[in-house]
Structure 1
């Protein structure tokens, strides 16, 4: 007898989000590692986003900077590396082998082939030459512990060599061997990002040799990663899963079958939750407010976002490439945006046509003060700027 899939409403999805992403006050975490485990991956393209994502979810936000730096650079319990959709993320260390096998290997093969093709078109040296340079780079990096591309080029001068990319095209440019090679080695899991040259908002990061990890079966790794994500972010549609992982739809469907994902229906149509996750989930006892950073993994977690983000708000809150800026949340919905002014003041604006009411404004104001309290005098400017953030920051 075929069982009718349970329907999970948008309000219930928002309740799950609040509890599982540690956004309701009573669910906040004690450590950055707990935050990362709850979200599976923290967006790492903009280094400041990692800290702001953690700070929004820590019970003691005053410890955000030292504790996140400890996890990233001392204990190495969190690692910054390329992952889904060829994007830089910060993962719990125990998931790095899973991400590498499930996603990184396929991307790495494409990246190395593209580099060799571009070098050949430009008349640059061949694959054997590149292999020699790669070996010298890894040897120098192991000796130094951590280093910038410029420091590595002192040990291996061939890293400074340049070649023209897309000659004759309107996007023609000049690439340095070190830039492209380090990117390839990153997706191959041979190197990872290390400490920044400056403070916690600095995007100038050193490189380090990647920790050893076991080589996993690709199919098994894909199933493991999908289970982690569904447990943290489910329910989700097949389109959400394909978008978030960057996999082929056949890989997504196979992994769903392997992990015994439960079919459900959503307001948007068919969806899935992790096995055993069908029981109704009560929402937080009281409404909650949060100021989440640009590229926060909650705001960027699904391809279909209408259940928490009204379509009419998107032009103001996203840049032209689909990157979300800083967002203001009230009780599971995005209701506006925020920014930091040059004097450090955190300013915000609601964009919801229906308004948010006095209770929401009070809670959002408290979240802004909480954020300013631990950010202090540090100036945070998102790498990908959006219309509302630019206007408020001005």
Structure 2
């Protein structure tokens, strides 16, 4: 299945009232004076339109910058705050300032989300702010997990040393999260024991008055809108280490995308366009999607632009397995200025999703929205898969060892299973 979307993320305010507030602020002195109302109302209309347009243009610039380099999110947010004009709705400026503070707070040592992850969430938040400003529909925000402490629960430990789970991530405060204790014969909803300390930090009480973990328990799961976002093994005396394997998936077909026209008269007329594209593999545990973004902008005149995002379902893990990670680079990009009417082969290479980008830029007649686009040819996708069963992942066992949260007897029992674990041959 293929969808064309623009991903959105958290913003605590809505901006549907920006024009209304500007009208009240500017019209009130006019109404009081009672002179030249018609002319002044026309001036006000232009002013409101200019302010809203400038604000959207500033947001668009920030969103583009993060699309090209998500790790620069902090500098982009700081620059965006400075660029907003004095006339801009203060709620927009405050929301971006809050987003900066929110994101900086989420980069603590325990969080362990990388800069690109934070940058992607920041970009989604800016898109959401823009959507509110333009009165567009905004979908719910999906919480994201980066790190769980401990990575598994060893029942051989003293109860006082396994009395809580800590979750670090992003946007925990936007929507309900369901927590379930999985036993041999039942699934118990224990969501009431989940405590959201901040938007990026949650704890789950496993103590005497918390989740009733017992010798029958095998895992704790977190779900959002019926989608599994985390699974934490409960290690019992007979729990094995999960099997692991590496799988290579090759797609021989190419993907073609023509982004929609977003600005200008649709004709580049020999003025470029300047072209950017980014392709990224996105892992959600059971599926990998390809997210392809392309922008082609005229280099002068009315700045004719085509820009959009395509999300393509790319790979599905086999039944009984979970995608632990993607081997190698997960992103490919290209950037150039078109100078003729020929197809242009750019970017790509042996690492990352894309072997080659083949662009269509300028030609005779209308371009943006109908002709300008890209064909993407893929490299093989190499994934690390982990068995989904009543078992403990090797990475979780190693994490427990580093933190001293696993009993010596458990380590001794599991150690032989952690040596080059591979699935048995059929």
TM-score normalised per structure 2: 0.21
- Pick the structure with greater CA Rg: 2
Q: Relative contact order (C-alpha < 8 Å, sep 6+): which is higher?
A: 1
TM-score normalised per structure 1: 0.23
